Amino acid sequence: DAGVTQSPTHLIKTRGQQVTLRCSPKSGHDTVSWYQQALGQGPQFIFQYYEEEERQRGNFPDRFSGHQFPNYSSELNVNALLLGDSALYLCASSLGVNHEQYFGPGTRLTVT
Amino acid sequence: AQRVTQPEKLLSVFKGAPVELKCNYSYSGSPELFWYVQYSRQRLQLLLRHISRESIKGFTADLNKGETSFHLKKPFAQEEDSAMYYCALSGSGGSYIPTFGRGTSLIVHP
């Protein structure tokens, strides 16, 4: 089991563009959470998906949206990119919403 | 609002010395506290949680509700303990959505 996988590893986008990040959960897990980690900061919770629905959401604008597929994988979409969206985006999976989360390696997004 | 404060960005010690990574929190209720660790080139992983009262890799952490602290301690640091450590808090009731501190980088010198 490769654990939680994320793609791409890193990417560079221009301000105003849109980006999609992908996450495959650990085998057997059905819940996916997304975090943003700015340089020098701890991860900040964006939202959590379970049963293909957004279950909880952190303090992020509507430009951040997501999706969960029937195979439990997930996408994070960010529209109208701002320079401040540059960060490491972490995906974490768990078995149910109230259990330990396992983190992926992250996707490094740079907005220029 | 819940908040986690890790006052030290960097903690540097020698092998065999005691280690204490500080964590203070703000939460109006009964929180659940965690320590996460990220070793170089590895992913973030849970180290320990206060409800389990475990000692993991020689580390312990005691929840002090009076001082609203959850400091991470180890009596004798090892070089392999060098990593980034994050204290995190989640609300009571089983929600595992943690609020993280900014992290403390621990460097253990030989």
The pLDDT tens digits along chain B (110 residues) read 789 999 999 999 999 999 999 999 998 888 889 999 999 989 999 999 887 777 789 999 988 989 999 999 999 999 999 999 999 998 766 566 889 999 999 999 99
With CB atoms and an 8 Å threshold, state whether A99 touches B96: yes
Q: Is the distance from CB of B46 to CB of B96 less than 8 angstroms? A: no
Residue A70 Cα, gap to closest chain B Cα (Å): 22
With CB atoms and an 8 Å threshold, state whether B46 touches A43: no
Kindly state whether A79 is in contact with chain B, defined as any CB-CB distance less than 8 angstroms: no
Q: Is the distance from CB of A30 to CB of A95 less than 8 angstroms? A: yes
Residue B39 Cα, gap to closest chain A Cα (Å): 12
pLDDT of residue B95: 61
Kindly state whether B95 is in contact with chain A, defined as any CB-CB distance less than 8 angstroms: yes
Residue A15 Cα, gap to closest chain B Cα (Å): 26
With CB atoms and an 8 Å threshold, state whether B102 touches A102: no
Neighbouring CB atoms inside 10 A of B42's CB total: 11
pLDDT of residue A50: 93
pLDDT of residue A97: 78
pLDDT of residue B92: 65
Contacts of A90 in chain B (CB under 8 A): 44
Neighbouring CB atoms inside 10 A of B34's CB total: 27
pLDDT of residue A99: 80
Q: Residue B106: CA atoms inside 13 Å, Cβ hemisphere, count?
A: 28
**Residues in chain A with pLDDT values less than 70:** none
pLDDT of residue B93: 60
